[in-house]
Structures are given as structure tokens and as C-alpha cells.
Amino acid sequence: MRAEHLLEVLRGDDVALGAAVHFADPAVVEIAALAGFDWVSVAVEHATITMKDVAALQLAADVRSLTLLAHVTQPDDFRILPLLNAGIGGVVLAHATRADDVKRLVHTTRFPPLGDRGAHSAVRTTDYGDLPYAEYVAEIDRSVAIGLVIEDVAGLSNAAKILAVPGVDFTYVGLQDLSQSLGRPGDVQHPDVRGAIERVVELAAPHGTHVAVSRYDYDVADLRDLGVRMIATSMDHTALLRSFRDDVDRARTGLSSSPDA
């Protein structure tokens, strides 16, 4: 499943809920889908996941009708085109600070007239050549989402120009990095950080660009009321740790309360 599910949710009134994935096992993506998430993302800069791993995750996402997003650090990263050919649901540029970088991302990711994506007629997204190429080119841009991350003072200062670039579907506000850049490391609820979310929502609205954040300590209803439409509520490794810890705590509590303890 490319971006269809995510974009469909964003066109409605719902909030699209997502999770960050660090494990290379496709079962993690399937479990995320079974849990009810609308999308999952892989931040290549923070995970030891290869392109081959991402392609396998994409197969699992397709089976479960889940949108998979890949975060890259450069707008013309050599991995973008192979990921697109493998059917990735969306490409997200981390640390977006300049409009020119976002234009380069659009240029790399979209077919003309918005971009100049490289052409290949026999890849997974063309059903290995079975799909008529003209039909493929006419439709594929609707199946790929483009996102960016505003997560430092430079990006925030240039947000008006960045968000005015055509072809972008959503923008994250990277709360952890932004709090650090604003001199409030880890204090994601500081008024300066909250004000940054409000500012990005305000600037994104005229362009129809949706805003995404990771929840951290925020209430999801509060974020929705701020105008956020995509919320990452979980990370696979922290969710696993929390679940394991809860199981251990319950077991030890049960053992300590036993008459034979």
C-alpha cells in the first residue's frame, strides 16, 4: 500500500496515527497494522536498516494496507529512487531548513511537471513492466506522499518559504530536535516549542499541507485541537520495552503478594 491509505485519512476529518519503526523484521510492520496504525515511518538516519530491509518492510505494509514512510537526510539521496521503485509510500526530508532543499526533494520524487524523477518501465511499481508505462506515470504521483521535518531554528525561521513549495503533502514538527535547538532540550511542552507547532500549522494551512508530530507528553486531543493531523504515538523498541517491563512488574508483584513469598 503506497500513500493511498494515509492520504485518504488526511482528506477526511480523522487524525492519522502512526508509529516509528527501528526493527528490520517485517512482522513489526504487520503488527503495527493489526494494532490499527495508519502509517509507520523508518528514519534511516536513526536506524540500522538497509534498503533491502525497507523493501521487505514495504512488502509487509502492502499486504496489510499500511502506508510506509522513509525519512532521508538529503533531498537527492541516491536511495530515494530505488525506494520509490520498490513502492515506498512516502519520502520525508529530515532537517529541512531551506526551500531549495525541499524543491530538490520534489524534483527527485515527482514526475513532470512538478519534478524530474528518473524513469524505469520495469520495476515493482509498474508490476515489473506489466503496467502500461504512460498509465503508470499518470497515476503514480498520487500514490506517493512527500513530507519534510522542521526541527531546528533555521527551519522554523524559513518555514514560510519552505511550506510554500508545491508538491509537499505534510510536514513534521520534530519536537525533540526543535526543543534542543530552541535551548529547551527535552522540554517539548515548553511554550516556545508549543508556539512553534502553532506557527507551522498556521503557515501550512494555506497550502493544504498537513502537520505531523510525535506525541511525547502531549495529549492527542490537544494536538488535534492545535491543528495537527498526523500523530506518531509509538516507537517499536520503546513499546516493546514498556510491554516487557509491565509484564515483569506484574509477575513480580504477583510473586511478592503470594502467601509463599
C-beta of residue 204 within 8 angstroms of C-beta of residue 210: yes
The count of structural domains within the chain is 1
Each residue's pLDDT tens digit, 147-165 = 999 999 999 999 999 999 9
Q: With helix as H, strand as E and coil as C, how does 200-246 read?
A: HHHHHHHHCCEEEEECCCCCHHHHHHHCCCEEEEEEHHHHHHHHHHH
Percent of the chain with pLDDT over 70: 98
**Quick check: is 261 in a domain?**
no
Q: What is the pLDDT of residue 260?
A: 64
pLDDT beyond 60 at 1: no
Higher confidence at residue 13 or residue 216?
Answer: 216
| 201: nearest Cα among 177, 222, 180 | 222
> Does residue 171 sit within a domain?
yes
Cell of 147: 513530507
DSSP 38-91: SEEEEETTTS---HHHHHHHHHHHHHTT-EEEEEESSTT-TTHHHHHHTT-SEE
**pLDDT level of residue 5 (50, 70, 90 thresholds):** confident
| Tens digits of residue pLDDT in 57-73 | 999 999 999 999 999 99
In this prediction, residue 261 carries a pLDDT of 56
What φ, ψ does residue 86 adopt, rounded to 5°? -80, -10
pLDDT confidence of residue 69: 96
State which residues form the domain around 74.
4-256
* pLDDT at 259 exceeding the cut of 80: no
Cell numbers linked to 93: 526530508
In-domain check, residue 83: yes
Q: What is the mean pLDDT of residues 60-87?
A: 92
CATH of the domain at 109: 3.20.20.60
The reply to whether omega before 75 is within 30° of 0 (cis) is no
The pLDDT tens digits for 92-147 are: 999 999 999 999 999 999 999 889 998 888 888 888 888 888 888 888 888 899 99
Do residues 22 and 46 touch, judged by C-beta distance below 8 A? yes
For the segment 169-179, the average pLDDT, to the nearest whole number, is 95
Q: For residue 30, give every residue at least 6 positions away whose Cβ sits within 8 Å of its Cβ, in sequence order, or none.
A: 60, 63, 64
Query: Is 233 inside any structural domain?
Result: yes
Residue-level pLDDT at 241: 96
Say if 124 falls within a structural domain. yes
Would 59 be classed as within a structural domain?
yes
pLDDT band at residue 47 using 50, 70 and 90 as cut-offs = low
